[in-house]
Amino acid sequence: MPGKREVTVACTQISCSWDKGDNLAKAERLVREAAGAGANIILLQELFETPYFCQDQKQELFELARPFEGNPVLRRFADLAKELQVALPISYFERANNSFFNSLAVFDADGTCAGRYRKSHIPDGCGYQEKFYFNPGDTGFQTFQTRFAKIGVAICWDQWFPEAARCMALMGAEVLFYPTAIGSEPQDPSLNSYPHWTRVMCGHAGANLVPLVASNRIGEEKAESGSITFYGGSFIAGPTGEIKAQASPPLPSC
């Protein structure tokens, strides 16, 4: 078919600790494995450099934020994208003057930055106290032209708002990407939101006829106020909402 292109995408998931070097090494290993298997665009999860620190409100954790310019982690993955000739949307905690954002930079296969996005919808609930750390994003929803496809990227809580996916689809996104951190609810450990999450995300794909990639963190992360068991279960949905590939979630009820 004239104009038809084949693009291979990959979702990933890792457990994270306060050993940042280990987290980054695991993330790089998965990128290399996915690239070795033929993936063109590879999605790592939200804020993979550290544990999900938003469980508690701690002033000292603002020290984790780094500006876009001169950020060594972003430089590392930009270089990796260039080496492997892949596109990488990379999540990070951004400091910009006196503001702080839950941000993402898209690195194309030549290592250049195709653009940046700042998370629009910021949750504020038990265990997910992001409004303490992050300003609402000021970039608006965008698309990013990579060597392989025009992509749309939103971050975690953005996924519960269908307008985000529709905006990116109307701007010409050919694939939607959602790095995320979703897990158990500290106020009610029996509540399993994993099936709801997957149905909502698959609905975005089906409603907009656009494939979707979601990468979630996995495993229990303990904080002073409690703990969250992140579901894992990263997946790829086809353009009619069917799940094409899915990593195993850790909970039998998922």
- Parent domain of 231: 9-246
Structural domain includes residue 251: no
Q: Which of 11, 16, 156, 167 is catalytic?
A: 156
Structural domain includes residue 4: no
Paired residues of 98 in beta bridges:
none
What's the confidence (pLDDT) of residue 254?
Answer: 32
Is 60 an active-site residue?
A: no
Look at residue 2 and tell me whether its pLDDT is greater than 60: no
Span 130-141, mean pLDDT?
98
d(CA 81, CA 170): 27
Look at residue 105 and tell me whether its pLDDT is greater than 60: yes
109-122 per-position pLDDT tens digit: 999 999 999 999 99
Q: Which of 11, 54, 94, 119 is catalytic?
A: 119
Q: How many structural domains are present in the chain? A: 1
Paired residues of 24 in beta bridges:
none
Structural domain includes residue 143: yes
Structural domain includes residue 18: yes
What pLDDT band is residue 225 in, cutting at 50, 70 and 90? Answer: confident
Structural domain includes residue 252: no
Percent of the chain past pLDDT 70, that is, above it, reads 96
Structural domain includes residue 253: no
Nearest to 128 by CA among 65, 193, 177, 67: 193
CB 87 within 8 A of CB 148: yes
Is 156 an active-site residue?
A: yes
User: Where do the H-state alpha helices sit in the chain?
Assistant: 20-36, 72-84, 162-170, 194-208
The domain spanning residue 83 has which CATH number? 3.60.110.10
Paired residues of 125 in beta bridges:
128
Q: For residue 21, what are the contacts with CB-CB under 8 A and spacing of at least 6?
A: none
d(CA 104, CA 116): 6
Model pTM score: 0.95
Structural domain includes residue 97: yes
Structural domain includes residue 2: no
Q: Which of 11, 16, 26, 46 is catalytic?
A: 46
